[in-house]
Structure 1
Amino acid sequence: MIEYRLIPFICLFLLVGCTPENDFELESYNLPEHASLEVAEIFRISSPAEGAFFSAIRKIHILSDGNLVVQNYPDYQLYELTPDGGYVNVVGRQGRGPGEFVETFISHLADGDSLHVYDFNNARHQVLVKNREGEWNHYRERMFRRVISDEMVEQIPQELITAQPGDSYGIFKVFPGSRDTLNANYYYVAQVDENIEHTGEAERIRVANELAIHRGENNSRSVHANRRFFRSFYQYDPGKNDVIMVRNTSNEIIVIDSSDNESVIGYLPYERFPIDREKLQESLVNVNYYYSGMEEIVREKLPDHEPYYWNVILHEGRLWVNLARSDSESPNWIITNLEGEVQESFRGPEEISEVTIHEDRLYGSVRDSDGAVFLVGYELKEM
């Protein structure tokens, strides 16, 4: 049985470089001391097919047979792989005809393993399906142009959630280009139609993350988002018609009901410790690409401590939480119920994006110190 305890700390000068005038109070709550699951890396690939390399993995879809379909960006095709990362097939090819793409901008996997791909540069939305021989065929298409609106509305969701066949919802993210005055991105949930487009009302709008915005004299604008800025993790439970939300600066688990009422239903473990200045500086290297002086604007938005969480994912009624930890040995992933009670814990990847969970596997995208992007897969086992 794993024991958890509340451990308050006082920052010591020799440990964290604080001064007596600027003491930093460390604290933690209910953190697991030992891992209950063992994590084994089963594959790590940067090239999904001959002559192709990942540059930015945008989606990892899980097919009904367990295979993966991975969307890379920029790219003109997607990649089907086995659960162990082996090559199966490419989906699509370069061009402007049926089953061809100029650039795969957004993709969603819908009912019956139908793959919806939006090609903004070719103004088309195509649907592909897999035949019995395992080949991906063009099923249908339509003209599609992305419309930038002044309203708090986006056409295509970031995440697609299927309640039951024919009844799907999307988590949408409104970007600053949609409204000139925004200093943050916003999430909302809405029902989607057969084309995975927004339909009905935009519900339960909440701040997704803060942004640092620099406005030039000619009214030009540069935007920088840092993962240490304020951020919320926004998940939708179609069975209960609830939004589950966790902020990276609070351990409250918040439910937002269909009437837009918020209530706290539980508390997650967390650790509060000073921001890692070395890693922070690495993340700011490219800030001056936007504007000279942008780095200072970004720094003004940063808290004095690391976020409590790097990621929170709702999967089959449980929360998978990537904790920020001050040491490299303690469990940095926990699996909890919706009240925050820890059920499992493990030491997993620290900086991983596009996390996708399937059975006892965790998939995601990581970037090495040279900037190379890898698709990685991990298997979780009882210790």
Structure 2
Amino acid sequence: MKHPRVFLHIIIFVALVGCLNQDSVEVPEEIRDLENLEVYPAELKPELDINIEKEREFGDTDTVHLGAILKDFAVDDNGRVYIADLRENKIHVFNPDGSYVQAIGRAGRGPGEFQMIWAIQVSNDHLHVLDFNQSKISTFSLQTYEHIRDIDVSLENQPSEKPAWVDQSRRYQAFLKPTDFFILPDDKYLIFFSDPGVTTADHLDKRTYQASIFNIKTGEYENHNLFSFRWTGQVLVHDNLIMFKVPYKRSSQFDFNHNTLVYGWTNDPLFKFYSMDGEYQRALYYPLKRVNLEEEDALAVYQAADEQLINAIRNDDLPDSWPAFNTLKLDDEKRIWISVTSEDLDVFEWWVLKDSGELLTTFTLPRDYSIEVIKDDYFYTHEIDRETGLQRIVKYRVEMN
């Protein structure tokens, strides 16, 4: 057993180290007072090297044409890839070797049919598909690809009292519906609500993500006030033009894995961890160097922009810098993958962080290569051919050493 005085000295030493670490880095005032905040130095050195090899593409074949409208995709434990086709309202299934298997679902309003596929997940030999228009989640077998059930996840038909944010959001012309979900243990969904139907710039800053837990067995929501994050959708609104995913706009980014949710607002390299009951646990902060934003750089992202878009950007209130980061992903080892804005605006610098915060490794990818799924020793990107506009999913093998 340690002597009490020695133990006290250890506590004081740890506290001083934490204070020195935070005081040596400029931390915004609104962040500084967070509990359990770990601040990292400005110059981080990665612990490991990384080797990335392109292994497979999933896209057009002789029998199927995916076109240019891919909404989401998922990968099962056997390496099969499931790609949501927004135009055809079906899920295309590919073997790990890239060969085509079949399509699941079709357009319609019946069982296992879709009006607008919005998000998909795989878990426990099942494929789960969220239909935005119908506010339902359809489940299919990964063994037979047969439809199992549809679950109504709308709020309109719920017997329980609606959460307060329903009426609050409607005052700002926002009508929140299920737009994302994650699969929890014990037959439950973590469902996120938002309203991506932007028709005006009014009250854009009032919109939020709201999260609830849905019990599949009872068919009812059991917790409505789990998380509340701001939503902007990275939208540019000018006259009759509405542009989504504008790269210099700020947005909420979050991901969920192993009963942990990590959230970040892209303006700040701050990542907050939450438990499944919605309780804040801790945060990591990285004082990244900001990349200045010039009007010509914002315009250069859109290589073939028309006059209306050019005028919209020139009339927009541009921030002084690009977002600190763009994308946040949490892998099956609870490592955080973030795409960081670099001086070379043609690429993102990707950081891989331990869940404890240390920098594991870094690498670069073109801006158009968006990492969406990280599974085992692979990551899968959504890539767009700028010349043809065609989209594909690409599988890369990753080795860190």
Q: What residue in structure 2 maps to residue 69 of structure 1? A: 82
Structure 1 residue 192 and structure 2 residue 214: aligned?
A: yes
CA contact (8 A) 1:35 1:346 kept: no
Structure 1 residue 322 and structure 2 residue 339: aligned?
A: yes
Q: What residue in structure 2 maps to residue 159 of structure 1? A: 181
Structure 2: where are the runs of 5+ without partners? 1-24, 26-40, 157-165, 170-174
| Rounded Cα–Cα distance in structure 1 between residues aligned with 2:347 and 2:56 | 23
Q: How does 1:1-383 map to 2 (within 5 A)?
A: 29-32=42-45, 36-47=49-60, 50-93=63-106, 99-101=112-114, 103-109=115-121, 111-119=123-131, 126-131=138-143, 135-141=144-150, 151-152=168-169, 154-162=176-184, 164-175=185-196, 177=198, 181-184=202-205, 185-194=207-216, 200-209=223-232, 211-214=235-238, 222=242, 224-236=244-256, 239=259, 243-255=261-273, 265-268=283-286, 270-275=288-293, 280-283=298-301, 294-297=312-315, 299-300=316-317, 302-315=318-331, 316-327=333-344, 332-353=349-370, 355-370=372-387, 371-382=389-400
Worse-superposed segment, 68-77 or 80-89 = 80-89
| Rounded Cα–Cα distance in structure 2 between residues aligned with 1:281 and 1:191 | 41
SS at match of 1:83: coil
Q: Which has the higher contact order (CA 8 A, sep 6+)?
A: 1
More strand by share: 1
CA shift in 2, pair 1:343/1:193, >3 Å: same
CA shift in 2, pair 1:260/1:48, >3 Å: same
Code of the residue aligned with 1:346 in structure 2: it is F
| Rounded Cα–Cα distance in structure 2 between residues aligned with 1:71 and 1:65 | 18
Structure 1: where are the runs of 5+ without partners? 1-7, 9-27
Worse-superposed segment, 324-333 or 199-208 = 324-333
TM-score norm. by structure 1 comes to 0.72
TM-score norm. by structure 2 comes to 0.70
| Rounded Cα–Cα distance in structure 2 between residues aligned with 1:120 and 1:258 | 24
SS at match of 1:347: strand
SS at match of 1:85: coil
Q: Deviations over 1:329-352 (max 9, x none)?
A: 998222112443101223334333
Code of the residue aligned with 2:246 in structure 1: it is N
**Alignment length (residue pairs):** 343
Q: Deviations over 1:37-92 (max 9, x none)?
A: 11111123431561322423222212232312111222232111233433232223
| Rounded Cα–Cα distance in structure 2 between residues aligned with 1:107 and 1:197 | 20
CA contact (8 A) 2:140 2:149 kept: yes
CA shift in 2, pair 1:331/1:116, >3 Å: closer
